[in-house]
Chains A and B, each alone.
Chain A
Amino acid sequence: MVRLTLDRVTFWYPATKAPALRDVSLDVAAGEVVALVGTVGAGTSTLLLVAADLAPRVIGGRLEGRVHFEAPEEASGGRRIVLPTPWTQVSGMAFTVWDEVAFGPANLGWSREEIARHVDRALAKLGIAHLASREPAALSGGELQRVMIAGILAMDPGLLLLDEPTAELDPAGARILWQLVRELARGGAGVLVATSDSDAIPEFADRVIWLELGRVAAAGAPALVADEALCAAELGTTVADTWRMAGLAAPYPATVADAVRRWPAR
């Protein structure tokens, strides 16, 4: 079974005095989707880099505490990150979208048939099979973001780390992505996702972790996104925030459906 554990992790970027993460403990288990929220600079991206074993191993810096990742033996099933900047994640080695998505699986030592099967499936899941023969460099931002996510999915990750995966996506693309995240969790993967789209969290997350200045400020059920403190930090859902702005009593509804249940018939 897949499990990621951070135990009292503090992390400094190279040549900085103030840590970007402070004493962070959390875990993500197989089959669950955990949402990371925080204002800009809170450390959500840093936390994903640490979880992906890119910080400090690749980008440098210093880490105190312990990061532990358990995964099954297969080459797939590892931890994979989708960066918030899809154009920096393009391999640059592929002339077509199909080859771009095949780049990761091809490096796992799979057979041609297995690679093709995974690539076709990932393209279909992201709704981009029609882009297969297009040139990655000629895609729109949203199309490219879907291609990058497909490339990671094609490797069958055990733990999927997503940083603002819907930043460039249109609503249909975002809906597909959040459904896919649920489907992966049902299939036994763990998912840790940083998102500023609080409104989407109730529909896809099992748990929410709120980071503030590098620390875990609160953690709990998805209803946390309607919490007074989160709303005060501008991280609540739009519905909760509107409720609060209207001066209506807490607890605030997180979603439109919650609001309808709370609203007496008039």
Chain B
Amino acid sequence: MAGSLTPALRLETVSFSYGVVRALVDVSLALAPGERVALLGRNGAGKSTLMRLITGLIQPAGGTVWVGDWDTRHRTPEALARSGRVGCVFQHAEQQLFGRTVRDDVSFGPRVAGVPAPEATRRVERALRALELERHAEEHPYDLPPAFRKLAALAGAFALEPALLVLDEPTSGLDRALRMRVTRALLERSVAGVTVLVITHDLTFAAETVERALVLDSGRLMLDGPLPALLGDAARLESLGLALPPVAALSAALGLPGRPTRQVDAARALARVAAGRPVP
């Protein structure tokens, strides 16, 4: 396994094209163990292409993708997943479940990765618990609403207990209560040292969940920095095809001290200012 100083993911001047359409141009970045990062950008900016490169489904036309200490060029997607270096959930994962029960589906990864049975069972339980799916474990996935199938797909990736989790639009179709559930689960994984990379348009979810933002535009990495700073810059957001999420907009419009971007921080600042108390 990779040592803790090795980035969980490193891209060196990576490029990729679909025929004449240049999807990614000279993208370089590195994610440390335990980091929580959002990959942002307009539709068609190259986000899903980046995900396919990380998971080994496609190979870079130029540059190198390192997942832990492995160069993806010499590895199959299956080997990458089985090695515990990366686990991923694609955009429409809720359409890709095939187990007879949610538990079956979640168990698939560890079983195929050759995890011994008792350990596999523990991992599956942990994954189901992390996404609060215990109650649905014995149900057929397609008897559940799509949002719960989505959570089951997330649990499947969790059960592999990979060093790097890559999730494409994990909150689409989820209501706020379920989005918060995903946030809690990802924070927990991150504390355990897992690197989390989420591709999302949902900046409200991103603000609650991640600390760092990567923004792609026309295949180029236009920004790599702290998410709260980006959320405090409406003009920059606009130029990157992003929109100010409501909490950051509220903080700015009311002049809340510290311009909080997470809801709980904004609520605390609101309460203090309303009560005439200083905000620390």
Chain A contact residues, CB within 8 Å of chain B: 39-41, 84-85, 87, 138-143, 146, 164, 167-175, 196, 198-199, 234-235, 237-239, 241-243, 245-248, 256, 259-260, 263, 266
Contacts and interface: CB of A to CB of B under 8 A. Distances in A.
27 contacts: A40-B147, A87-B92, A141-B169, A142-B42, A142-B44, A143-B44, A164-B172, A169-B201, A170-B242, A171-B241, A196-B174, A196-B175, A196-B176, A199-B204, A234-B176, A234-B177, A238-B204, A238-B245, A238-B247, A242-B267, A246-B266, A246-B274, A247-B271, A248-B271, A256-B253, A260-B254, A266-B273
Contacts, number: 121
B42 A170 contact: yes
Given A87-B92, A238-B247, A260-B254, A168 B172 contact: yes
B76 interface: no
Contacts of B21: 138
Most A C-beta atoms less than 10 A away, residue of B95, B145, B175, B271:
B175
Interface in B240-265: 241-243, 245-247, 249-250, 253-255, 263-264
Most chain A beta-carbon neighbours within 10 Å: one of B43, B146, B172, B264: B43
Interface of B: 18, 21, 41-44, 47-48, 91-92, 95, 145-148, 169, 172-178, 180, 201, 204, 241-243, 245-247, 249-250, 253-255, 263-264, 266-268, 270-271, 273-274
A245 B44 contact: no
A13 to B, nearest CB: 10
A84, A139, A196, A235, most chain B CB atoms within 10 A: A196
Given A39-B177, A171-B201, A142 B43 contact: yes
Contact of B243 (A164, A171, A259, A260): A171
A127 to B, nearest CB: 10
B38 to A, nearest CB: 13
A198 B172 CA distance: 14
Nearest to B272: A246
Given A167-B173, A172-B241, A259-B253, A85 B246 contact: no
Given A140-B44, A140-B48, A235 B175 contact: yes
B162 to A, nearest CB: 23
B241 A256 contact: no
A134 B173 CA distance: 27
A85 B92 contact: yes
Contacts of A237: 246
A248 B246 contact: no
Q: Which of B145, B169, B201, B254 has the most chain A CB atoms closer than 10 A to its own CB?
A: B201
